């Protein structure tokens, strides 16, 4: 949703045209510092090897892997304990296709002409926000993030901030301040290996393919052809074959992201385990050095007052030591901690402080001399303004000939109290329930992580095993299912404690037919929020969460329910403050009562306190938000069987359905769209009854009937049953064309386009155990015909069937270009479509549909761990790192449901057969 190209078009292609005397200029996005020139691998030595085709090695051992990603890998080493399944790429790989974010030139005049007013209003608003208020706009139309094809699995648990480590090993994306991203590769944050034999250093190398202009005293330029990265979130592996040394290093990265675990999953920590394989006939002494800058590459790294200190912590029979890096900013100060486990056969040493500028040859020589660091005592002095400081930690061990050993590091960050941009309220992060709020938890966090990471891995393996061992599932799907889950953690995610004075009921208490002031689930499990996208900075964007919500309800259901209580409380709130909505140019209230909010706020403002950061449209008149709330309430109940939750949500569901009734203008039981983009496709105009919103409406009526029966409200059941029966008749009459449901019933030229998302309502019914018998809103044969039409046209007739399903397709087999969104592929929508196909017995078609998106994003376009909202067939993408693709978990629910249905059918048949046998014997 929230398409920025129209506004880009107006101001970059029209307004700039006017301001430059009619000369159109080509305006690209903001240029980011690029380190791509450092990625050209240059080996510092030559080793004679028997060349084996990388495709042959990879395909023989791991038949799922795209050979393009691994075709530069020249080693035969497959690493220590690296799984078969996941996403794999050689460190020397370069993606051929370099896509750009949407720009003015990508929009036609026909699509932009009706939005000139929007453009002018946005420019005025943007100028006031950025130049007068000095704040970041919730979506910056002029500074779209360029594609950097570098990201790997993020570090850390849920809601405590994230640090992303790229697949080449760089620390390159930071979200420590809640919801606010900083894209900067900090070049001094590295791992370095030192090999010693007979008391002499024989090899010392920074494990990075880069050649930076700083730190020239270090040995850079590791040959990327000898290493590969493998991700199966929340773990990742990097395998380094050290050419000429007969040594293989496997770095295993572990974050505590564990389904149904509400303690350890909240911890802001990660562990790096280095498995060292010595294949020589002689022993080696091996040291790994971890260097870390005090900061994130942000300008406040030079603000002064930052300092480091060494620490040692021993408890519960385990000891850890390392360095604390205190980052003392005025707002949201934090402490970084690099640490290692102390063991009898390991030596831990450190350098408290060094300058990450210049050649830094002193630190390099210190390690080179004896494989250890000087380990000075005492703290470093606070930095002066303009100065940066870093720290180093080294761990050493002996590795016998033809054997293996390992070294363990942890990285933790402690920012226990946070404020959002408005600085009006202090929030306490979830992990502080277990580690305190004083800001001194980094040593304890590191100790805990190093002591418990093996338990985390056991839990992760137990969770993933059924999927990974299912031979009927393709390898790409296993990668997609787990790796897309990164966004639960790295979606600007915050997980906070509920303040004692908070009232989430919206002021309407349970005794008055509303909600409890502090629902038990929020009080016990905290408040949860994640962004629509890293570039679309709104928390809990509800029309998009509709798709993404499957990951939460299946893996952390308490967080899903907690979020629903928050949304429910905001439904009954109202904010009469008038503000300008940029599309219409009209003033209307920020929040209307008995309407689901679009979002719960901007992290640069004060989320939860002020909702609806989105101001393009007045979403009080959107047709999908209320319906998506109702559908999620019942879906969540179906999966959790939490009867108290159902009772609490029931009056809110009735209120939003009553509010929705006003959109049925002709009282035929079917709502009408209002002639503008009044739903999640907010750049795609829809008029009158429509397949998407009409289908959601009928599905909502269906689940209201079901909930009324469960709650013994027969009169309410009859009311909704009557509307459902009339609405179903109208839906078929107005939209069914014999093969599929038309986009809308307006009769316009494009009203008979094939929308890939036309069965969204039925999808949710099937995901909720409904859709048949009494609780069927759509004839089965029509749903299957519609899905077949979508597969034939939107999937197989688009991009040769290799890129998923385009949003809109004309019946003659060409994309619908009537809007800026109809010819896009929305990855999250495609995964939901695939789930619908699986529910309907079209498993092969569903898998083929979803595979196109995975292959495009992860293997062709270099968008790993930044899956966008959308891409077009050629050239462009929109909104990197987006919430909606979490809907891949809807596919897993569909697969689970299909398997249960199949098992039930077999058992029923066996019982019937046994019964017939008994009758025959009798």
For the chain, what percent of residues have pLDDT higher than 90?
Answer: 84
* Res 512 pLDDT > 80: no
Vertex 773 angle, CA 769 and 779, to 5°: 95
* Mean pLDDT within 842-851: 98
Q: Give residue for tokens 């018998």.
A: 773
Give yes or no for a contact between 483 and 414, defined as CB atoms under 8 angstroms apart.
no
* Res 489 pLDDT > 50: yes
pLDDT of residue 13: 40
| Cα(183)–Cα(174) distance, integer angstroms | 6
pLDDT digits (tens, 9 = 90+) for 515-561: 999 999 999 999 999 999 999 999 999 999 999 999 999 999 999 99
Higher-scoring residue by pLDDT: 511, 138: 138
Distances (CA, A) of 150 to 166, 184, 237, 876: 5, 12, 15, 18
pLDDT of residue 36: 32
pLDDT of residue 921: 58
Q: Give residue for tokens 């080449």.
A: 168
| Cα(296)–Cα(118) distance, integer angstroms | 37
| Cα(681)–Cα(755) distance, integer angstroms | 11
pLDDT of residue 141: 82
Confidence of residue 116 (pLDDT cuts 50, 70, 90): confident
Give yes or no for a contact between 808 and 829, defined as CB atoms under 8 angstroms apart.
no
pLDDT of residue 40: 28
Confidence of residue 850 (pLDDT cuts 50, 70, 90): very high
* Res 407 pLDDT > 60: yes
Q: Give the list of residues 6+ apart from residue 844 with CB closer than 8 angstroms, or none.
A: none
pLDDT of residue 1: 60
pLDDT of residue 104: 58
- Sign of dihedral through CA atoms 542, 543, 548, 549? positive
Residue in 341, 342, 556 with CA at minimum distance from that of residue 449: 341
Q: Give the list of residues 6+ apart from residue 867 with CB closer than 8 angstroms, or none.
A: 484, 487, 827, 857, 880, 881, 882, 885
pLDDT digits (tens, 9 = 90+) for 661-688: 999 999 999 999 999 999 999 999 999 9
Domain ranges of the chain: 151-454, 498-628+636-645
Least confident among 134-143, 440-449, 792-801, 900-909:
900-909
Give yes or no for a contact between 561 and 634, defined as CB atoms under 8 angstroms apart.
no
* Mean pLDDT within 623-647: 98
Length of the chain: 922
DSSP calls for 661-685: GGG-TT-SS---EEEE--SSSTTS-
- Please classify residue 694 by burial: count the beta carbons closer than 10 Å to its beta carbon, then call 0-12 exposed, 13-18 middle and 19+ buried: buried
Least confident among 133-137, 619-623, 783-787:
133-137
pLDDT of residue 900: 80
* Mean pLDDT within 439-460: 98
810: its two tokens: 């004309």
* Mean pLDDT within 440-453: 98
pLDDT digits (tens, 9 = 90+) for 168-184: 999 999 999 999 999 99
pLDDT of residue 909: 63
* Res 54 pLDDT > 90: no
pLDDT of residue 514: 74
Beta bridge partners of 426: 419
* Res 583 pLDDT > 50: yes
Least confident among 48-52, 322-326, 368-372, 610-614:
48-52
* Res 105 pLDDT > 70: no
Give yes or no for a contact between 72 and 225, defined as CB atoms under 8 angstroms apart.
yes
Q: Give residue for tokens 């004839």.
A: 779
Q: Angle between the 843-854 and 888-921 helix axes, to the nearest 10 degrees?
A: 160
For the chain, what percent of residues have pLDDT higher than 70?
Answer: 89
pLDDT of residue 106: 66
Higher-scoring residue by pLDDT: 601, 4: 601
Vertex 203 angle, CA 200 and 208, to 5°: 150
pLDDT of residue 656: 98
Confidence of residue 149 (pLDDT cuts 50, 70, 90): very high
pLDDT of residue 388: 97
Mean residue pLDDT of the chain comes to: 91
Distances (CA, A) of 295 to 39, 290, 298, 567: 23, 15, 7, 35
* DSSP state for residue 160 in the 8-state scheme: B
Helix, strand or coil for residue 848? helix
Helix, strand or coil for residue 314? strand
Q: Give residue for tokens 């409380």.
A: 569
Give yes or no for a contact between 745 and 672, defined as CB atoms under 8 angstroms apart.
no
Q: Give residue for tokens 């894209």.
A: 183
The terminus-to-terminus CA distance of the chain in angstroms comes to 65
pLDDT digits (tens, 9 = 90+) for 67-86: 799 999 999 999 999 999 99
* Res 915 pLDDT > 80: no
What is the edge-to-edge ordering of all strands in the sheet holding 269-278? 87-90, 227-232, 235-242, 247-254, 269-278, 403-414, 334-342, 318-327, 307-315
pLDDT digits (tens, 9 = 90+) for 640-655: 999 999 999 999 999 9
Cis geometry, peptide bond prior to residue 234 (ω within 30 degrees of 0):
yes
pTM exceeding the 0.85 threshold for the entire prediction: yes
Which CATH number is associated with domain 151-454?
A: 2.70.98
> From the CA atom positions of the chain, what is the Rg in Å?
28
pLDDT digits (tens, 9 = 90+) for 749-801: 999 999 999 999 999 999 999 999 999 999 999 999 999 999 999 999 999 99
Parallel, antiparallel or unpaired: strands 307-315 and 673-676? unpaired
| Cα(286)–Cα(803) distance, integer angstroms | 46
DSSP calls for 309-378: EEEEEEETTEEEEEEEEEE--SSS-EEEEEEEEE-TT-EEEEEEEE-SSS--HHHHHHHHHHSS-----S
- Please classify residue 844 by burial: count the beta carbons closer than 10 Å to its beta carbon, then call 0-12 exposed, 13-18 middle and 19+ buried: exposed
* DSSP state for residue 132 in the 8-state scheme: I
556: its two tokens: 């952390």
């Amino acid at each position: 949703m929230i398409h920025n190209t129209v506004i880009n078009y107006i101001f970059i292609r029209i307004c700039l045209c006017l301001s430059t005397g009619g000369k159109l200029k080509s305006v690209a996005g903001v240029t980011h510092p690029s380190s791509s020139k450092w990625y050209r691998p240059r080996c510092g030595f030559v080793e004679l090897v028997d060349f084996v085709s990388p495709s042959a090695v990879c395909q023989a051992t791991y038949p799922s892997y795209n050979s393009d990603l691994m075709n530069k890998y020249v080693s035969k080493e497959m690493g220590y304990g690296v799984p078969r399944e996941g996403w794999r790429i050689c460190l020397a790989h370069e993606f051929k296709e370099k896509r750009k974010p949407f720009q003015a030139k990508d929009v036609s005049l026909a699509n932009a002409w009706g939005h000139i007013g929007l453009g002018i209003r946005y420019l005025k608003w943007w100028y006031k926000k950025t130049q007068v208020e000095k704040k970041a706009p919730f979506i910056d139309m002029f500074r779209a993030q360029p594609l950097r094809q570098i990201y790997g699995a993020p570090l850390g648990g849920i809601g405590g901030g994230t640090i992303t480590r790229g697949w080449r090993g760089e620390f390159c994306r930071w979200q420590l301040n809640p919801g606010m991203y900083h894209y900067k590769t900090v070049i001094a944050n590295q791992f370095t290996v030192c090999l010693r034999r007979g008391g002499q250093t024989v090899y010392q190398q920074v494990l990075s393919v880069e050649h930076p202009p700083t730190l020239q005293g270090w040995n850079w330029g590791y040959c990327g052809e000898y290493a590969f990265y493998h991700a199966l979130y929340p773990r990742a592996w990097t395998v380094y074959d050290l050419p000429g040394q007969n040594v293989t290093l496997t770095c295993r990265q572990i974050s505590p992201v564990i389904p149904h675990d509400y303690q350890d999953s909240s911890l802001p920590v990660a562990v790096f385990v280095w498995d060292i394989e010595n294949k020589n006939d002689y022993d080696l002494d091996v040291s790994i050095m971890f260097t870390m800058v005090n900061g994130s590459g942000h300008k406040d790294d030079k603000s002064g007052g930052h300092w480091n200190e060494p620490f040692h912590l021993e408890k519960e029979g385990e000891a850890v030591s390392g360095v604390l890096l205190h980052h003392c900013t005025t707002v949201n100060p934090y402490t970084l901690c690099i640490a290692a486990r102390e063991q009898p056969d390991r030596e831990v040493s450190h350098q408290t402080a060094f300058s990450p500028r210049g050649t830094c040859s002193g630190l390099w020589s210190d390690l080179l001399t004896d494989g250890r660091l000087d380990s000075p005592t005492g703290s470093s002095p606070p930095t002066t303004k303009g100065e940066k400081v870093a720290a180093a930690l080294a761990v050493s061990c002996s590795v016998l000939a033809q054997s293996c050993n390992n070294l363990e590091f942890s990285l933790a960050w402690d920012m226990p109290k946070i404020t959002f941009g408005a600085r009006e309220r202090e929030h306490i992060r979830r992990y502080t329930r277990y580690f305190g709020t004083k800001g001194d938890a980094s040593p304890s966090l590191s100790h805990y992580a190093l002591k418990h990471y093996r338990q985390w891995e056991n839990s992760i393996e137990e969770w993933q095993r059924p999927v990974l061992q299912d031979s009927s599932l393709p390898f790409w799907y296993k990668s997609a299912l787990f790796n897309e889950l990164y966004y639960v953690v790295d979606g600007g995610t915050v997980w906070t404690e509920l303040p004692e004075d908070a009232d989430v009921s919206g002021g309407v208490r349970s005794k008055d037919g509303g909600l409890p002031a502090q629902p038990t689930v929020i009080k016990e499990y905290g408040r949860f929020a994640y962004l629509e996208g890293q570039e679309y900075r709104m928390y809990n964007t509800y029309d998009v969460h509709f798709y993404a919500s499957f990951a939460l309800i299946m893996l952390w259901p308490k967080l899903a329910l907690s979020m629903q209580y928050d949304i429910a409380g905001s439904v009954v709130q109202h904010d009469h403050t008038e503000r300008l909505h940029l599309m219409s140019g009209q003033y209307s209230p920020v929040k209307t009562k008995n309407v689901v909010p679009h979002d719960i706020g901007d992290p640069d403002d004060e989320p939860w306190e002020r909702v609806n950061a989105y101001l393009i449209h007045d979403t009080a008149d959107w047709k999908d938000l209320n319906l998506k709330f109702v559908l999620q309430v019942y879906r969540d109940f179906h999966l959790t069987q939490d009867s108290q939750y159902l009772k609490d949500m029931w009056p809110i569901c009735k209120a939003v359905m009553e509010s929705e009734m006003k959109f049925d203008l002709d009282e035929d039981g079917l709502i009408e769209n209002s002639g503008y983009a009044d739903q999640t496709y907010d750049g795609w105009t829809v008029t009158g009854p429509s397949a998407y919103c009409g289908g959601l409406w009928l599905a909502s009526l269906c689940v209201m009937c079901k909930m009324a029966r469960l709650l013994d409200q027969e009169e309410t059941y009859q009311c909704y049953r009557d509307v459902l029966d009339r609405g179903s008749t109208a839906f078929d009459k107005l939209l069914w064309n014999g093969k599929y449901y038309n986009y809308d019933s307006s009769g316009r030229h494009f009203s008979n386009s094939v929308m890939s998302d036309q069965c969204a309502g039925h999808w949710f019914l099937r995901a909720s155990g409904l859709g048949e018998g009494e609780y069927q809103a759509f004839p089965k044969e029509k749903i299957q015909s519609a899905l077949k039409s979508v597969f034939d046209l939107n999937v197989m007739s688009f991009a040769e069937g290799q890129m998923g399903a385009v949003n809109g397709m004309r019946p003659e087999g060409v994309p619908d270009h009537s809007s800026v969104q109809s010819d896009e592929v929305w990855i999250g929508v495609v995964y939901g479509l695939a789930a619908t196909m699986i529910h309907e017995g079209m498993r092969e078609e569903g898998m083929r549909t979803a595979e196109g998106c995975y292959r495009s994003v992860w293997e062709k376009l270099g968008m790993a761990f930044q899956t966008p909202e959308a891409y077009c067939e050629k050239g462009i993408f929109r909104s990197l790192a987006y919430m909606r693709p979490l809907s891949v978990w809807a596919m897993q629910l569909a697969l689970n449901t299909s398997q249960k249905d199949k098992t039930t059918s077999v058992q029923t048949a066996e019982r019937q057969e046994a019964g017939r046998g008994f009758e025959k014997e009798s």
